[in-house]
Amino acid sequence: MNPGVGRLIRKLETFATLAETDKRALAETVTTVRRFSAHEDLLREGEPFDELKLILEGLACRYKLLPDGRRQIVAYLVPGDLCDIRTFILKRMDHSICSLAPVEAALLSAEGVLGLMGRSPALTRALWWSTLVEEANAREWLVNVGHRTAFERLAHLLCEIFIRLRAVGLTQDNRCDLPLTQNELADTLALSLVHVNRMLMEMRRAGLVTFQNKQLTIHDLQALQSASGFNASYLHLDGDKH
Amino acid sequence: MNPGVGRLIRKLETFATLAETDKRALAETVTTVRRFSAHEDLLREGEPFDELKLILEGLACRYKLLPDGRRQIVAYLVPGDLCDIRTFILKRMDHSICSLAPVEAALLSAEGVLGLMGRSPALTRALWWSTLVEEANAREWLVNVGHRTAFERLAHLLCEIFIRLRAVGLTQDNRCDLPLTQNELADTLALSLVHVNRMLMEMRRAGLVTFQNKQLTIHDLQALQSASGFNASYLHLDGDKH
DNA sequence: CGATCGTTTGAGTTTGATCAAATGTGGTGG
DNA sequence: CCACCACATTTGATCAAACTCAAACGATCG
What is the overall mean pLDDT for chain A? 94
Q: For residues A58-65, give the mean pLDDT.
A: 96
**pLDDT in the model for residue A160:** 98
Best residue of A147, A188, A192, A233 to probe chain B, by most B CBs closer than 10 Å: A147
Indicate the helix (H) or strand (E) that contains A160: helix A150-167
Q: For residues A170-184, give the mean pLDDT.
A: 96
Tell me the three state secondary structure of residue A48.
Answer: coil
Q: For residues B60-71, give the mean pLDDT.
A: 93
> Which residues, numbered 13 to 32 in chain A, qualify as contacts with chain B under a Cβ-Cβ cut-off of 8 Å?
15
Q: How far apart are CA B227 and CA B225, in angstroms?
A: 5
Per cent of chain B over pLDDT 70 is: 97
Which is higher by pLDDT, B138 or A4? B138
Q: pTM of this prediction? A: 0.95
Long-range contact list for A194-200, CB < 8 A, 24+ apart? Answer: A195/A150, A196/A150, A196/A154, A199/A150, A199/A151, A199/A154, A200/A154
pLDDT bucket at A24, cuts 50 / 70 / 90: very high
**pLDDT in the model for residue A241:** 67
pLDDT bucket at A49, cuts 50 / 70 / 90: confident
State the DSSP code for A82: B
Q: How far apart are CA B83 and CA B51, in angstroms?
A: 10
C-alpha radius of gyration, chain A, whole number:
18
* Cβ of residue B142 closer than 8 Å to a chain A Cβ: yes
Q: pLDDT at residue A239 above 70?
A: no
* Angle at alpha carbon of residue B84, lines to B79 and B90, rounded to 5°: 155
* Angle at alpha carbon of residue A92, lines to A165 and A128, rounded to 5°: 50
Question: Which residue minimizes Cα–C1' distance to D28?
Answer: A213
Nearest to residue A140, comparing CAs of B137, B64, B45, B46?
B64
Q: For residues B154-183, give the mean pLDDT.
A: 97
pLDDT bucket at B185, cuts 50 / 70 / 90: very high
Q: CB neighbours of A219 closer than 8 A, spacing ≥ 6?
A: A174, A207, A208, A209, A210
- Whether residues A89 and B15 touch (CB distance < 8 A) is answered with yes
| Chain segment B197-213, per-residue pLDDT in tens | 999 999 999 999 999 99
- What is the nearest nucleotide to B212, using C1' and CA? D9
**pLDDT in the model for residue A1:** 55
**pLDDT in the model for residue A59:** 97
Inter-chain Cβ pairs, chain A and chain B, closer than 8 A:
131
Q: Which of A64, A86, A135 sits opposite B138 (nearest CB)?
A: A135
Measured to protein CB atoms, the chain C nucleotides within 7 Å are 5-11, 15-20, 26
Indicate the helix (H) or strand (E) that contains B2: none
Q: How far apart are CA A79 and CA A164, in angstroms?
A: 10
Residues with CB under 7 A from strand C: A 181-183, 193-194, 197-198, 200-201, 212; B 149-151, 190-192, 194-195, 213
- CA–CA min distance A190, chain B (Å): 5
Q: Which of A5-19, A71-85, A221-235 has the lowest mean pLDDT?
A: A5-19
Burial of A39: CB neighbours in 10 Å, binned 0-12, 13-18, 19+ = exposed
Tell me the three state secondary structure of residue B172.
Answer: strand
| Chain segment A81-136, per-residue pLDDT in tens | 999 999 888 888 889 999 999 999 999 999 999 999 999 999 999 999 999 999 99
> Which residues, numbered 143 to 172 in chain A, qualify as contacts with chain B under a Cβ-Cβ cut-off of 8 Å?
143, 145-148
Burial of A56: CB neighbours in 10 Å, binned 0-12, 13-18, 19+ = buried
- Whether residues A146 and B72 touch (CB distance < 8 A) is answered with yes
Q: For residues B182-200, give the mean pLDDT.
A: 98
Q: For residues A49-66, give the mean pLDDT.
A: 94
> Which residues, numbered 106 to 125 in chain B, qualify as contacts with chain A under a Cβ-Cβ cut-off of 8 Å?
117-118, 121, 124-125
* Cβ of residue A86 closer than 8 Å to a chain B Cβ: yes
